[in-house]
Structure 1
Amino acid sequence: MPKRIVINGYSYKWGDLRRRLDRVRDRLPQAIADAARNFFVDSFTKQGWDTGHGIKKWKPRKKAEGRRRRAILVKSGRLRKSIRIRRATFRRITIAAEAPYAAAHNFGVDETVTVRAHTRRSYTTEREKYTARTGRERTRTVRREGGNHTVRSHTRHVSIAQRQFMGQSDALDRKLDNMIETAISRIFER
């Protein structure tokens, strides 16, 4: 095997090129996976999907909850935190949103679903008297469990607007192409 190799008129030591190539092969998949995951998570900050030709804003919720307005698709942060890198190898990179409702929001839903039979608790509110620390008698409202009842199996129409946060994007493709070109050019740096 030759000790030196000539590429584009430049002479390289074979061992140095081999080490650089191995380093890129080991580090590049994880770097690409991190960049893609961060791109998907940024959709929650942008409140829309970056197609590469502009941001496709998410449809707003129908009702604002009280006076406080929160971001779309963010209540506890579970959906955003569930976006994880499952596998990052040179042959395959897999990123998944592990929340059970992730696909419904990413692709949208407009179908009839069957709700299984289940038991629902019912509650009642009662006014109760108590004595405050000052010795004054006051009343407060207390919520108590009033009983259970069985809900029979039934169908319900579900319509959830598509709010894409993962998938194919020209902006992501350009970003990953630049990362790959930079990594390959580093192999042949002088």
Structure 2
Amino acid sequence: MKVIDTTIPDVKIIEPAVYGDERGFFMETWNQQKFEELVTGKPTSFVQDNHSKSKQGILRGLHYQTENTQGKLVRVVSGEVFDVAVDIRKDSTTFGQWVGVYLSAENKRQLWVPEGFAHGFYVTSDEAEFVYKCTDYYNPDAEYCIIWNDEEIKIKWPISGIGMPHLSQKDGQATRLKDNVCL
């Protein structure tokens, strides 16, 4: 496994070793010991796995929880997304900054989004299946959402020629970072 630093030190891109030939490929998608040694540097346990499927132009996020804060190890098993992590830790030197990475079934990359970050993604392929491990359980009562086009964060989403992204009702009613409860 290769770990790539991003502009925000706690957010990491993970490239698994992939062994392939004419029959297909094999890759290790999770190894507790390597993850703790190379990515977090501390004990990390996951308690929940999620899987979503979305069509092109869907934007999900930017979600986070103020209780049961979740670290997420995310990857795409079909299609491609532009995945984003926004630092919402008030005392962080990178507060309000974001990292965006293309994750796809083809590049097999994973992104580590630690606790203290809002997370979202935009589907760039016809459809995408997105899977992720969480370090804590989903708590809808403590969930918040930052609007995808917040003028202060200035995420450069790769919105295609199909127009505005498709949002859930919840994501469409999201508020700006400065109006949210941060960690």
TM-score interval, smaller chain: under 0.3
TM-score, length of structure 1 as denominator length: 0.19
| Larger helix fraction of residues | 1
| Larger strand fraction of residues | 2
Structure of higher RCO (CA pairs closer than 8 Å, 6+ residues apart): 2
TM-score, length of structure 2 as denominator length: 0.20
